[in-house]
Amino acid sequence: MSAYPSVRPRRLRNSPAMRRLVAQTRLHPAELILPLFVREGITEPKPIDSMPGVVQHTRDTLRKAAVEAAEAGLGGLMLFGVPAVQDAIGSEGTNPDGILQQAIRDVVSEVGDALVVMSDLCLDEYTDHGHCGVLAADGSVDNDATLARYAEMAVVQADAGVHLVGPSGMMDGQIGVIRRALDAAGHQETGILAYTAKYASAFYGPFREAVGSSLKGDRKSYQQDPANTRESLRELELDIAEGADLVMVKPAMAYLDILRQVADASPVPVVTYQVSGEYAMVEAAAAKGWIDRERMIMETLTSLRRAGAEQILTYWAVEVARQLH
């Protein structure tokens, strides 16, 4: 018997060319989706302090960012509107001339043949209380009254030309109500990216600055408990039955186990969202010189693909796509 190992896994790691040859997981620009914020009433992009390098766009700079994304070969964009006025029911979310609807029309006209244009379908950006729905008299979020608002939002976003709506409020029955509303309005071709497993996460902190959220309190009564797994698969089953075209797990890195289970069970494409807090942690540590920023970005994104994500929302989408070319 040989004194040395006859099986040497390191043979497949011994050069960059060999590692590239046998890599099981690869990133491609077309799998990346760039979240973009557009703010009403500003004349210059406004930096988001807690997300270095990310801004609230004007309509003009949003167009330019969309063109850059298309040129980088991204798969899509997810648009978020930041209105000048908020109220109790989020009226600007269903205003046909609201900032998000204007942005959808702008971006679709600019890059609609090159990218999948998606829109956030939620009320938190538009309400003066910051919740994702309409409040009942006792201050709780009224699920069914909120569904009626979501149906209206879906139709105005589809009227503006969006390709996929992204209901992110975690209301029971939201996918079915939106699907019926879209179909009744003649938008059978408008798809739904369901936020299927969206957890009540501390990783969303910087996002609330990005969208000017007025939230007091928390969203634990409608977003999922980070302690739980089983309900994600129940939500998946419901969303598929109600007509979801794609499903999402959010956040990403702290929920790789959920992502893997959803990917194993889903009959439709699985998306994940590398959220604001994940982005901010890497950028902050890199600014301190504590980590290798570029390697960390690639490693985190690769982990999401390895866990089963077929598409990834990430604020690094354009930067990473350019590196992959």
Write the pLDDT tens digit of every residue in 229-271. 999 999 999 999 999 999 999 999 999 999 999 999 999 999 9
| CATH homologous superfamily, domain 27-247 | Aldolase class I (3.20.20.70)
Which residues contact residue 211 at a Cβ distance below 8 angstroms, ignoring those fewer than 6 apart?
37, 80, 82, 124, 125
Give the pLDDT of residue 218: 73
Which residues are designated catalytic?
A: 198, 250
Q: Given this model, what pLDDT does residue 139 score?
A: 87
Cβ–Cβ < 8 Å for 243, 175: yes
Looking at 72-219, list the stretches that DSSP marks H as alpha helix, in order from N- to C-terminal side. 99-111, 143-159, 174-184, 205-210
Residue ranges for the chain with pLDDT beneath 50: none
pLDDT digits (tens, 9 = 90+) for 148-162: 999 999 999 999 999
pLDDT for the residue 2: 61
Annotate 11-50 with DSSP letters as a single string: GGGSSHHHHHHH-S----GGGEEEEEEEETT-SS-EE-TT
Q: Would you say 317 and 69 are in contact if contact means Cβ atoms under 8 Å apart?
A: yes
Report the amino acid identity of residue 208: R
Cα 177–chain centre separation: 21
- Between strands 116-121 and 55-57, the pairing is unpaired
Residue 1 pLDDT: 55
What's residue 206's pLDDT? 83
Percent of the chain past pLDDT 70, that is, above it, reads 97
Tell me which residue of 116, 32, 36 sits closest to 309, measured CA to CA.
32
Report the relative pairing of strands 32-39 and 311-313 from DSSP bridges: parallel
Instruction: Express each pLDDT in 58-78 by its tens digit.
Output: 999 999 999 999 999 999 999
The contacts of residue 185 (CB under 8 Å, 6+ apart) are 155, 158, 159
